[in-house]
Structures are given as structure tokens and as C-alpha cells.
Structure 1
Amino acid sequence: MLTAKQHELLQFIQQRLEATGISPSFEEMKDALDLRSKSGVHRLISALEERQFIRRLPNRARALEVLRQPENTTRPAVANDVTPARPARTTPEPANDVIEVPLHGRIAAGLPIEALEDSRSLPVPAALLGAGEHYALEVSGDSMVEAGILDGDYALVKRTDSARDGEIVVALIRGEEATLKYLWREKGGMVRLDPANSAYDPQLYPAGDVLVQGKLAGLLRRYN
């Protein structure tokens, strides 16, 4: 049996899909159901998914498909009292949501500069991000141009404290300065941070001076 809120959410999702072909965002669902937080939406979505009223579309973050509806809306629904959902009009497949990720200042792609923290956020298509926690940094400098990372780009970073040799990482140096570079571990307890620009030299530091704060997951570029 669906609860009143589960039924209300199912109807809202179906109506939005029929009207636009795009599943509503969690924020829109929260507002439509007058919930206090998105965690309530997550619980309702999970319950509907477990009962096979909806499914999450693979490789499309937060995109939903309605599989079936209760037979009528004037009495409580029961598990076996269902009919296939009315097919939506010919509309595009639900599109990816946009996720707001924290934007933490500027990061050097040349010489290390201090990483600035602020309270801004950056809207990012969910398809660009995989699992895990992410943040964004604005690139400053040209030392990674041969890797296709340009001054003014936004680096999308997966938060992690570990990385393999050869990966592009955000490295915090001596707890004060951050830089975007290829990571290599050298013999003798040294870490080498390599640029992707032949005009720049690699940077060598004792391993204890370098802290990995994330790995490059993607890029956003604004064309003016």
C-alpha cells in the first residue's frame, strides 16, 4: 500500500514527465510535497522504487521513469491493484539534473598559489560526475595546457586523499598552497608534481609536504 505522500509524489513525477519529458529535480519534489528536506524525497523515491512503481534510469543521475500507477486515486492502493502507467506523450527521454557543487576559489596550474575558500557553488551537469563527493576549482595559469586544461577553466575534482601515479591531482603543499599537476612518487620519499607544459619544470617535494586533496574528474569551460 502506498502512503499518501508516496502516492502524491508518484502523481507529481508522472505529471511532470507527461508535460515536459523531464523528471523533476529533488528540490522541485521537496517543494511540491511541502517537505522540509531532500532526505524525505530520497526516502519516498526509495520506497516507490522498492515497490516497482518507478525506476531510476541508468547513467542518468536522478532521472526517473514511472513503471505503473495505482488503479484509481480515490481509494488506498494495494500491491496487486495496479495497472500500467499511461504512456507519456512523445517527449524527450528525461534529461540529467544539474548538481550544485562547492566552488573553492582558484587553483594554480602554474606555480603553486594559495587555495582560496569561499561559499560559492557551481552548477554542473550530473552526467559529468561519477560517484563520490565533488568540488570545483577555477584554474589559474597555463602549466597544464598540454593536458587540455586552460586558464579560466573550472576543474571538477573528486574528493579523495589517495591517487595513483600519473593521475592529475589537487595537491596541497605544506598545508598552505594548492596546485593541479600530474602526481608521481619518486625514490627516497619524494613526490614529483609534473606540469603539462614544456615551459615549466617539475616540482619535487618531500612526501610529507604533499597532501592529495582530490583527483581531476572533469572540466567546464566558459566561452565568452
Structure 2
Amino acid sequence: MDTALTRRQQSILEYLREQRHAQAHPPTLDELCRALGLRSRGSMHKHVQALVDAGLVEPLSGKQRGVRLCEPAANDLHTLPLLGRIAAGQPIEALEDPQELEVPTQLRGRGHCYVLQVRGDSMIGEGILDGDWVVIESRDHARNGEIVVALIDGEEATLKRIEQTPSACILHPANSALAPLRYAPGRVQIRGVVKGQMRAY
């Protein structure tokens, strides 16, 4: 089963795979509803949009309206370690049972990468929501404006957009309810930079 898909989304994906070579044209939303016994076109649209957001299908417009598979081939996927969960101002919560996730190549950086699951809503303005997975390229440096995993005083880990000056390291949340965090440069260690993001529906 594909990671992080609901049963309905999985059934849509399996149907599209089965019909890929059996039909001359990709099925429309109405055809998908009939084939899978779903009465609500709006509900089907919601499930299909989740598959679109996951990069597994794409909607067609114009004369050939429908939904077409665009999932990556097996050799376009890489397995990365899921090291734990990151929440603002807390140590990274390591998983008791180490896991691995399949990640599309385009979400990876050039260097060593790993995955963390986000806890909290400090970066919702950047579209990073509670429960999302972020792909981190392991680095000890970053450009201003990049979203980083920052370790404060060697203990507290947080996911923030970084601003570095000669006198301060400022970690900016993407949530209007939260204030930026300002530290002396020596108190902040960069442990990686966000290169990609995945979400379960």
C-alpha cells in the first residue's frame, strides 16, 4: 500500500493503475464515481486532489478531461531514514523503532538526507502543518531565509526560517501568534536545511 493514503485514495490509485492500458482516455471524475460506487462528485474531487498534492496523479483539461497517473517510477524513489519528530523548543523525539520512508528524488538535496515529522503549528504560514514530514539535507550552515533544523544550546531543536547577522541568529516562525527567537550566534547550531515536504491525507 502507498504510504499515507486513505483506503479510498488507495482504491482510486489502484483503479487508475488497472485501467491505465485498458482505456483510450483517462477516466473523468464522474467515471471514477461510477466505477468506485461513490455518489458524491465533491468527495471524489477531494480524494483526487489529495493524490494530486501527493504527486501521484494529475488532472487533464481541455478536450481530454480526466485524471491521469503521474506517479514516479520505482527508480525515482529513494528510501530515507525517519529519525524522529521535531517540535518547537524541544529535543528531537527519537522513534523507538527506526523507520524508513520512500521519498521522490526531486524532494531530496544533494547531500545526506533524513526525514523528521513536524509537531506543532509554528510554520503554518509556510504551509508546514502539524504531522507533515520534512526532508532535511544534513548541513551545518545555511543561507539567510532558508528553513532549518536549529539546535539551541545543544538541547532544544526547532524548525524555523533563519536570519544570521554578525551579532545575532534570529529564528523566524511562520505564525503571527509567535515572536521571532533571537540568540547569540554561538548558541545556535544548524543541523540541516529543509529540502522537501510530504503530507498524509
Same fold (TM over 0.5): yes
Match of 2:196 in 1: 218
Please say if residues 170 and 178 of structure 1, whose CA atoms lie closer than 8 Å, have aligned partners that are also in contact. Answer: yes
Alignment of 1:34-73 (within 5 A): none
Q: 1:113 aligns with which of 59, 66, 90?
A: 90
Give CA deviations for 1:43-93 in whole Å, capped at 9, x if unaligned: xxxxxxxxxxxxxxxxxxxxxxxxxxxxxxxxxxxxxxxxxxxxxxxxx99
Match of 2:185 in 1: 207
Unaligned runs of 5+ in 1: 1-91
In 2, the alpha carbon distance for the partners of 1:191 and 1:216 equals 18
Match of 1:130 in 2: 109
Give the deviation of 1:117 after TM superposition: 2.7
Q: 1:184 aligns with which of 163, 167, 171?
A: 163
Moved over 4 A (4+): 92-95
Larger radius of gyration: 1
Q: 1:163 aligns with which of 132, 142, 149?
A: 142
Give the deviation of 1:187 after TM superposition: 4.5
Amino acid at match of 1:133: H
Give CA deviations for 1:119-139 in whole Å, capped at 9, x if unaligned: 222221223213211000000
**Identity across matched positions, percent:** 47
In 2, the alpha carbon distance for the partners of 1:153 and 1:171 equals 18
Give CA deviations for 1:162-221 in whole Å, capped at 9, x if unaligned: 101111000011111111101011342x21100011110001111111000000000010
Give the deviation of 1:152 after TM superposition: 0.3
The two structures have a TM-score, normalised by structure 1, of 0.54
Say what the alpha-carbon RMSD is for the aligned residues: 1.9
Unaligned runs of 5+ in 2: 1-70
In 2, the alpha carbon distance for the partners of 1:120 and 1:171 equals 22
- Compared CA separation, residues 142 and 97, structure 1 to 2 (3 A): same
- Compared CA separation, residues 166 and 124, structure 1 to 2 (3 A): same
Give CA deviations for 1:9-36 in whole Å, capped at 9, x if unaligned: xxxxxxxxxxxxxxxxxxxxxxxxxxxx
Alignment of 1:75-94 (within 5 A): none
Give the deviation of 1:98 after TM superposition: 2.3
Please say if residues 96 and 127 of structure 1, whose CA atoms lie closer than 8 Å, have aligned partners that are also in contact. Answer: no
